[in-house]
Amino acid sequence: MEFTMPCFLVSLFCFFGAFLVFFFSQCLFRLIKSTTRKLPLPPGTLGLPYFGETFQLYSQNPSVFFASKQKRYGTIFKTHILGCPCVMISSPEAAKFVLVTKANLFKPTFPASKERMLGRQAIFFHQGDYHNKLRKLVLRAFMPEAIKNIVSNVETLAVDSLHSWDGQLINTFQEMKTYAFNVALLSIFGKDETLYREELKRCYYVLEKGYNSMPINLPGTLFNKSMKARKELAQILVKILSTRRQNKEVHTDLLGSFMSEDESLTDEQIADNIIGVIFAARDTTASLLTWIVKYLGENPTFLEAVTQEQEAVMKCKENNGGEEKTLTWADTKKMPITSRVIQETLRVASILSFTFREAVEDVEYQGYLIPKGWKVLPLFRNIHHSPEIFPEPDKFDPRRFEVAPKPNTFMPFGSGSHSCPGNELAKLEILVILHHLTTKYRWSMVGPQTGIQYGPFALPQNGLPIRLYAKK
């Protein structure tokens, strides 16, 4: 005889079965969540309330701060800087984990003060489709195919800068900042950059003073002054956008790329990203050039090697009839020794000591919990100065780059999808000015040569004062 279960019992059984599945799944979820919560935070200290260890980091040699932490706690530790709880990591494997392998778990970010000053629509703070679109637009203006067309314009800026320094006692860093700022404006606004240079410079120079200030928006504070300058800077950029739309000219510079009709960026998005590009292109390049001048001045053998290489480029042009006296993109590809000097300076000086990421969810790494919302800082400086990776790490020796470094051990421009898209432009402007500096000028450093100042980039003391003279 066939047995038939009553309908209500079938329904009850199904309900009960579904309940058990739900119950046990919730228990499993809570167990996993509970286990995650019980993971310890990385070792370390958070310092003072709110201020954390900001002053300890930015008032001394960052190598000392990072090295002391790593020696005490290992390659992963917690701290608190610029109002943010942070986890710092200092191994190539950890940097790859955060920047490449699990990049989806760590969004790019900056401290609150920088986010508000640069603008929340800037490329630095985004992932996904919006970031990909912005990166495509920036690369379109900064890839070799685009910037090879402005080599002669960059050269004019370099020649004019060096000529204005001839016979003068100059602050190398400040003068290189002006040069890098002008190159940045050239890449952004093309031939129109001279129309806006002084107005943009006036506002930006006020804005930059507050980049590493605490985000306290009270009258008289650096942050408050910077935010006012940022508002004015945005208004100038909106005015430039309006003028371009009225003229209806086709432009191949970065602003033209941002204004492409098929990209549909708002004025606010364009302004935020223009300010962001200036920020990324200026101080870092100027700091690098300052260190190059110092290291070449202290190492006559490498200075002579660079000078001979640059003179060979110049003579090659003369031997070809001298028809094309200005540098070309092809010329910059004949400078391997100079390129290795740039690489070694990037390593030793480590202009960018670290980069900022933020955990978008709780993340486990090496048995530690990185809580959602905490900043994560891969420490490039520690990696670049590891004696296991680079023997005698404090010694300036460009010859070490005759062999390519191992993956994830040399990251001066970051790594992964958020690596710096303007590195080709930076290298171009450095090669161009070094060509003329070494072939046409000599210099001597003035004052103490051992001191280093921080704020926030590491720089030679007093911005490296030098006297520059034209060669006879």
Q: What is the pLDDT of residues 430-444, one digit of tens each?
A: 999 999 999 999 999
In tens, the pLDDT along 197-219 reads 888 989 988 888 887 677 787 88
Q: Is 119 left (phi over 0), alpha (psi -120 to 50) or beta?
A: left
HEC readout, 323-341: CCCCCCHHHHCCCHHHHHH
Q: Between 404 and 263, where is the model more confident? A: 404
Q: What is the pLDDT of residue 9?
A: 34
Residue 11 has pLDDT above 50, yes or no: no
Residue 14 has pLDDT above 80, yes or no: no
> What is the token pair recorded at 218?
């009270």
What is the 8-class DSSP label of residue 447?
S
The greatest distance separating any two alpha carbons of the chain, rounded to the nearest whole angstrom, comes to: 116
Rounded Cα distance, 54 and 272, in Å: 26
What's the whole-number average pLDDT of the chain?
85
For residue 458, which of 281, 294, 279, 306 has the smallest C-alpha distance?
A: 294
Q: What percent of the chain has pLDDT over 70?
A: 90
- For 5-9, 295-299, 337-341, 457-461, which range has the lowest pLDDT when averaged over its residues? 5-9
Q: What is the pLDDT of residue 169?
A: 96
In tens, the pLDDT along 165-199 reads 999 999 999 999 999 999 999 999 988 778 888 88
Q: What is the pLDDT of residue 24?
A: 38
What is the 8-class DSSP label of residue 322?
S
Rounded Cα distance, 99 and 110, in Å: 15
Helix (H) / strand (E) containing 305: helix 300-319
Rounded Cα distance, 92 and 378, in Å: 9
Rounded Cα distance, 278 and 185, in Å: 8
Q: Where are the beta strands (DSSP E) in 234-362?
A: 357-359
Helix ranges restricted to H, 107-220: 112-118, 128-142, 144-147, 151-165, 172-189, 193-208
Q: What is the pLDDT of residue 319?
A: 75
Q: Between 67 and 39, where is the model more confident? A: 39
With b for 16 or more beta-carbon neighbours within 10 A and e for fewer, the 107-140 pattern comes to bbbbbebbbbbbbebbbbbbeeeebebbbebbeb
Residue 21 has pLDDT above 60, yes or no: no
Positive/negative CA dihedral, 236, 238, 242, 247: positive
Range 338-361 average pLDDT? 92
Long-range contacts of the stretch 242-250 (C-beta < 8 A, 24+) = none
DSSP one-letter string for 400-416: GGGSPPPTTS--TT--G
Beta bridge partners of 8: none
Residues 6 or more apart in contact with residue 236 via CB below 8 angstroms: 196, 199, 200, 203
- The amino acid that residue 90 corresponds to is S
Q: What is the pLDDT of residue 41?
A: 94
The answer to whether 329 and 151 have CB atoms below 8 angstroms apart is yes
Residue 365 has pLDDT above 70, yes or no: yes
Rounded Cα distance, 211 and 428, in Å: 26
Domain ranges across the chain: 38-470
With b for 16 or more beta-carbon neighbours within 10 A and e for fewer, the 349-372 pattern comes to bbbbbbbbbbbeebbebeebbbbe
In tens, the pLDDT along 45-80 reads 888 887 888 877 776 677 788 888 888 999 999 999
Task: Supply the pTM of this predicted model.
Answer: 0.84
Q: What is the pLDDT of residue 102?
A: 92
Please report which confidence band the pLDDT of residue 12 belongs to, taking 50, 70 and 90 as the band edges: very low
- The amino acid that residue 360 corresponds to is V
The answer to whether 457 and 282 have CB atoms below 8 angstroms apart is no
**Residue 420, marked binder:** yes
For residue 169, which of 363, 453, 444 has the smallest C-alpha distance?
A: 444
**38-470, what's its fold?**
Cytochrome p450 (1.10.630)
Highest mean pLDDT range out of 2-16, 104-118, 268-282? 268-282
Residues 6 or more apart in contact with residue 64 via CB below 8 angstroms: none
Q: What is the pLDDT of residue 37?
A: 56
Range 311-337 average pLDDT? 85
Range 239-254 average pLDDT? 87
Highest mean pLDDT range out of 23-27, 396-400, 405-409? 396-400
Helix (H) / strand (E) containing 68: helix 62-73
In tens, the pLDDT along 126-166 reads 888 898 899 999 998 898 988 998 999 999 999 999 999 99
The C-alpha R_g of the chain, in whole angstroms, comes to: 26
Q: What is the pLDDT of residue 322?
A: 54
Q: What is the pLDDT of residue 353?
A: 82
DSSP one-letter string for 344-358: HHHHHH-SS-B--EE
Please report which confidence band the pLDDT of residue 321 belongs to, taking 50, 70 and 90 as the band edges: low
The answer to whether 408 and 419 have CB atoms below 8 angstroms apart is no
